[in-house]
Each structure stands twice: as structure tokens, then as C-alpha cells.
Structure 1
């Protein structure tokens, strides 16, 4: 299976760039499955339903959220009716929506996509490790599903790495989100799981993790609330990760970073 994951979409320019480029990226990479993290798509905080619809229309098979899942209250009824929009699985029982979804491809192959949120320097949620293990108990990689992808939405790279090593061989692909900076550690772990600590963001990198520089930097100088943060709206770099897996085993055979447009060094997977 050929899997494309795009990192946190930030603001109008980020979502416009992804909506414009995703169809061509899917075609160029012959991607069977496209996943987009869009928890920052609405002015940098949350996701509005119409924005989710636009990303689905552009070719996203699954959209993941994160710690800003509920910043736009209108997403609550929408997520209940749209199973391909998922939030972290370790939110407490009774939270709207689901933390995982099985997607059936046009040729009948099936992929499980899940999201867990870390707890180090984050909200005190249920355990992401135990929650993931509970979901995986219901699926068999390479049998009931041909691929399993996990978005680990976390602040600490150590927690993301520990998560990936814990489930090495049980997941096809573990990718980190939330910190908005693409990492240089794309690799296939010994058990066959592809891993990158953070996919990066789809946004303007002439910024502070996607936000306008002046207001964001003043918060560090003064250590007090300043003007409301807003997304930077310069040229967008679309950042993500491309993975190929073996359908028979579900394990990864290739992982490559993706960076196109904007300020960062350009990298286009060979496909």
C-alpha cells in the first residue's frame, strides 16, 4: 500500500495549499491512502466542518485532529456523523467521535487509521499506549487489515519514539504530529514499522510554528498574554511523509519525507 500523510495544516494558506496540491500529489505518488492532520486549519485553532469537507473533497481519506479538536464547537455534531474524521483515542469515554477508523480502498484492501495523544507536557488524558493496545487487539496486520497507520500527537519526541518502539511490528507506520517541525529521523524500525517523529506542518515557516512572529515572540519576552495569535499567511511549505508497505505482512518497505513549496529545502519522494 502507498500511504501519504500530511502534517498539521495551519490556517487559510495551509489549507488552501493542501486542497490545491493534494490531488496532484496523490496522482504523482499513486497514493492509495491519504491522511491529513487538520487540527489547526481554522485560523490556527481547530477545524470547521466546511474546511473538513473541502479537504475530503480534495482527496483526504482520513482527517486527524489533536489537542485543538474542540476549539471549533460546530465540529462536535460533524465528527459524530463523519467517521473518517478522527480525534485521539485516549479521550475519556463519552467524548464525541472515534479515535480510529477502518478505510476500505477501491480495490477492497483495508487500512486501519488511528490517533493517540501523548501526555508528557500535554493534557492529562487516558494512557495512549494502553488505548492503542486495546484497539490493536481487534485487528491483525496483514490479515484483517493490510495496513495500520498511527498519528501520535505529542509534544515530546521521547514519548513518540517510545510509542513507535512499543508497537514496532504491530503497526505499518507511526508518524508524529503537533510540534510542526519536520524531523530528520525517517526510518524503518527493526520490526518493520516506518517512523518519523514529526511530519512537520503545512503552513508558512516564516513564523513561530505557523503563527505570526511578532505576537508569538513577545509572549516569550514578557511571559504574559499578548495579542491574540494568528496564523502566518506567507508561502506555504507542504510537509508530510510517504510510506510504502507490503500487503502480505503490513510492514513498511520504504519511508520518505515530503516537503514542497515555501521556504524549506524541497524533497519529493521517488514514489
Structure 2
């Protein structure tokens, strides 16, 4: 079985890339499950119900997120009404929506979990190590996919290494995380809030294609997919 994981879909540029490129990828590689991070898909921050429906129509099966998931008030409501949009499992326990789900694809039980890093995050989150360890104690699946949404590569690498053996972005090509650099620099230099404005330039698609062995349930091939439009 093949699983496609797509990096952070940013703004209109990211959505258009998914519309034009995802159907081709799914047909070419015979992908059985597509997972994507969508937390910046509406104007670079959050996701509206309209854009949730749009991305679903393009072939995304499960959507994950991060610290911007509730930037739009409407998301607090509709995340409770759908079964395929995740918020970070280790965020505030009073936040609506699931942080992990169990689905079945081609007779395989697949769990998808969304976690949030703690370094440089503007919102409080429980230690992701403890959250994941508690979840793994009652592992009930054949395959477990984890989207760890964090600001630093060091934090991501450390968590991956810690859970080794147990367990990027689609949008504007220029700028910083898909936005014009001015706002990002102001935040870093002055410590003041600044609105992120999508960088209008060429687009890029980033994701990974996982090939799973049907007997061992282990990944036997990982292919990085990157295309600049």
C-alpha cells in the first residue's frame, strides 16, 4: 500500500497546486491514503469550511493541523461535525475535535495522530513525548502516522529519534513558510505581532510517498516528492 503525506498547504497558491497536481499523483502512484496538513490553507492562517470542502474534493482523505487550527471561529464548530480533520492531540484538552483517529484502508487499521511542538509556540501544549507515550501504551493499529507540527527542525528530529522503532510545505516557493518575509522578520527581531501575507510567486509541492509492506506493515520505501510550478 502507498501513503502520501503532504506538507503544509499554504493559501490559495497551495490549494491550486493540490487541485492541479494531486489527481495526477494519485493516479500515477496508485495511492491508497492521502494525508495533508491544512492549518494555513485559508489566506495563510487557519482553514475555513469552504476550503475544507474544496480540499476534500481534490482527494485529501485526512487533514492535520497545528497552532493555527482555530484561528477562524467557524473551525471550532465544524471540526466537531467532521471526522477527518485533526487538531493537535497535546493541545488544550478542552479544544474541540479529535487529535488522533483510527481508520481502515485496504484491510489495514491505520492511526493518524497530530502533535504540536513546544519550542517557540505561542500557545501552551502538553509535552508531546508524554502524550505520545500514553497513546502508544494502548497501540491498536497496523500502521501509525504522526504529523508533528513544530517550529524547529531540532525538536522534530529529537522526537523522531526518541520514538524510532515505535513510530514540509505546499504553497508559495518564495518567502518564509509561504509568507512575505517582512512580517516574519518583524516577529523575530522586534517581538511584535505582524500579519502574515502570502508570498505571491512560483508555487511548490512538497510531500513524501511511503510504500508499506503488506505483511510486516513496515515502510519499505520512502520517496521525497518535490515540484516547483
For normalisation by structure 1, the TM-score amounts to 0.78
The answer to whether 1:170 aligns with 2:166 is: yes
The answer to whether 1:233 aligns with 2:200 is: yes
Structure 2 equivalent of residue 160 of structure 1: 156
- Residues 114-133 of structure 1: matches in 2 within 5 Å? 114-122=113-121, 123-133=123-133
Instruction: Give a deviation string over 1:236-268, Cα, whole Å, max 9, x none.
Output: 111111111223332211111111133xxxxxx
Structure 2 residues without counterparts, runs of 5 or longer: none
CA contact (8 A) 1:208 1:216 kept: no
Structure 2 equivalent of residue 112 of structure 1: 111
Structure 1 residues without counterparts, runs of 5 or longer: 172-199, 263-271
Structure 2 equivalent of residue 149 of structure 1: 145
CA contact (8 A) 2:92 2:124 kept: no
The answer to whether 1:96 aligns with 2:88 is: no
Structure 2 equivalent of residue 43 of structure 1: 43
Match 1:204 to one of 145, 160, 172: 172
* 1:224 shift after superposition: 6.8
* 1:45 shift after superposition: 0.6
Change beyond 3 A, Cα 1:138–1:231: same
Q: In structure 2, the residue corresponding to 1:85 is in which secondary structure?
A: coil
In structure 2, what is the Cα distance between the partners aligned to 1:7 and 1:235?
16
In structure 2, what is the Cα distance between the partners aligned to 1:8 and 1:53?
17
* 1:227 shift after superposition: 6.6
Instruction: Give a deviation string over 1:191-250, Cα, whole Å, max 9, x none.
Output: xxxxxxxxx21111222221124x337627973758733102322111111111223332
Instruction: Give a deviation string over 1:48-103, Cα, whole Å, max 9, x none.
Output: 11111111121111000101011011011111111210011001222100111112
Instruction: Give a deviation string over 1:153-206, Cα, whole Å, max 9, x none.
Output: 1112222122112222222xxxxxxxxxxxxxxxxxxxxxxxxxxxx2111122
Change beyond 3 A, Cα 1:151–1:220: closer
Say how many residue pairs are matched. Answer: 228
CA contact (8 A) 1:146 1:248 kept: no
Q: In structure 2, the residue corresponding to 1:116 is in which secondary structure?
A: strand
CA contact (8 A) 1:169 1:251 kept: no
CA contact (8 A) 1:218 1:226 kept: no
Structure 2 equivalent of residue 269 of structure 1: none
For normalisation by structure 2, the TM-score amounts to 0.91
The answer to whether 1:223 aligns with 2:190 is: yes
Structure 2 equivalent of residue 185 of structure 1: none
In structure 2, what is the Cα distance between the partners aligned to 1:98 and 1:164?
22
* 1:4 shift after superposition: 0.5
Q: Which has the higher contact order (CA 8 A, sep 6+)?
A: 2
